[in-house]
Amino acid sequence: MFKIGNIELKNQVVLAPMAGVCNSAFRLTVKEFGAGLVCAEMVSDKGIVLKNAKTMNMLYIDEREKPLSLQIFGGEKKTLVEAAQFVDKNTNADIIDINMGCPVPKITKCDAGAKWLLDPDKIYEMVTAVVEAVEKPVTVKMRMGWDEDHIYAVKNAQAVERAGGQAIALHGRTRVQMYEGTANWDIIKEVKQAINIPLIGNGDVQTPQDAKRMLEETGCDGVMIGRAALGNPWMIYRTVQFLETGKLMDEPSVREKMDVCILHLDRLIALKNENVAVREMRKHAAWYLKGVKGNAIVRNAVNECNTRDELVNLLNGLAADVEEKESLVTVG
């Protein structure tokens, strides 16, 4: 267990913020698999300030997801502060996180996301302004630097701490790396030794064993899991169990995977509408299907689905096929 400000996390396993993925439907599902903290996908400060309808919908949080961290991004102090105040007063988020890692040009061109990594003074100024304007704890998620020649992770993290930030999540890649190469865990260790607020390590935790290794090798306080949880909330459950008991739980059966995929779909339909949810669910279904033998035909068919019934029939059909094959093997 550790704390971010006054918010207690029941374990060290954190679901990473992922745009287009971490809405309430997915977050609640992952939460039920035991995550100590779930992070929402990044939300534009300007979208909040302008009360853009789509942006407002992104602020929805189910009470059962808590504790939850809601991430905002922006490049200007005024709008960032206003957005943070809105989140502070009008949402049930527990933590306000500031994005300092997004590498996408559309974001960095507006002086937001990873662009800040080049300027520890700006980090100090912006984080100070947000911290002073809100009551909820403020945290920052950052990459280790802009490129190989500009790795200011330690200075940047210290700036966050001086500014009153209550925790940092550090992805061990530069902006230029995007998602290439391997995450540098040495920098996570270096930053951990340089600050006194909790540090959550992030990058390339693909298995429960990786999570344990990251905690041991870097001394970080928590581990943040992103891509390994896509279509795989069991990764969170298995990691929590492994860290707590040293036991590695079995991977889920195909039936379990399809059942949770359908639960996720139904939550997405409740959040959006059937048409939008089914389209959005296509990529998730492909992730849930990863590793399932003979999934190629179903994966292709998923991309043609337009209704809940079509998608559910495909997923249930696959689970039934696999179960039948397994029973033949058992009998045989």
Ligand X SMILES: Cc1cc2nc3c(=O)[nH]c(=O)nc-3n(C[C@H](O)[C@H](O)[C@H](O)COP(=O)(O)O)c2cc1C
Report the candidate in 223, 227, 181 with the shortest Cα–Cα distance to residue 202.
223
* CB distance 52 to 93 below 8 Å: no
Q: Which is nearer to ligand X, 7 or 228 (CB)?
A: 228
Question: How far apart are the C-alpha atoms of 94 and 136, rounded to whole Å?
Answer: 6
Report the nearest approach of ligand X to the CB of residue 172 (Å). Answer: 9
How many other C-beta atoms are found inside a 10 Å radius of the C-beta of residue 240?
A: 21
Report the nearest approach of ligand X to the CB of residue 280 (Å). Answer: 12
Report the nearest approach of ligand X to the CB of residue 142 (Å). Answer: 8
102 in catalytic set: yes
Report the candidate in 129, 122, 123, 102 with the shortest Cα–Cα distance to residue 44.
102
DSSP H or E segment with residue 92: none
Q: Which is nearer to ligand X, 120 or 231 (CB)?
A: 231
Question: How far apart are the C-alpha atoms of 257 and 274, rounded to whole Å?
Answer: 21
* CB distance 98 to 73 below 8 Å: yes
Q: Which is nearer to ligand X, 45 or 204 (CB)?
A: 204
Q: Which of 22, 102, 220, 305 is catalytic?
A: 102
Q: Which residues bind ligand X (CB under 6 A)?
A: 16-21, 41-42, 71, 99, 101-102, 141, 171, 202-205, 225-228
Report the amino acid identity of residue 48: I
Q: Which is nearer to ligand X, 42 or 157 (CB)?
A: 42
By beta carbon distance, the residue nearest ligand X is: 226
Question: How far apart are the C-alpha atoms of 87 and 14, rounded to whole Å?
Answer: 21
* CB distance 127 to 116 below 8 Å: no
Report the nearest approach of ligand X to the CB of residue 311 (Å). Answer: 21
| E strand spans, the chain | 2-4, 7-9, 13-15, 37-39, 43-44, 68-73, 95-100, 138-145, 167-174, 199-202, 222-225
Question: How far apart are the C-alpha atoms of 154 and 257, rounded to whole Å?
Answer: 41
Q: What does the block give as tokens for 307?
A: 């209704």
Report the nearest approach of ligand X to the CB of residue 328 (Å). Answer: 38
Q: Which is nearer to ligand X, 17 or 120 (CB)?
A: 17
Active site residues: 102
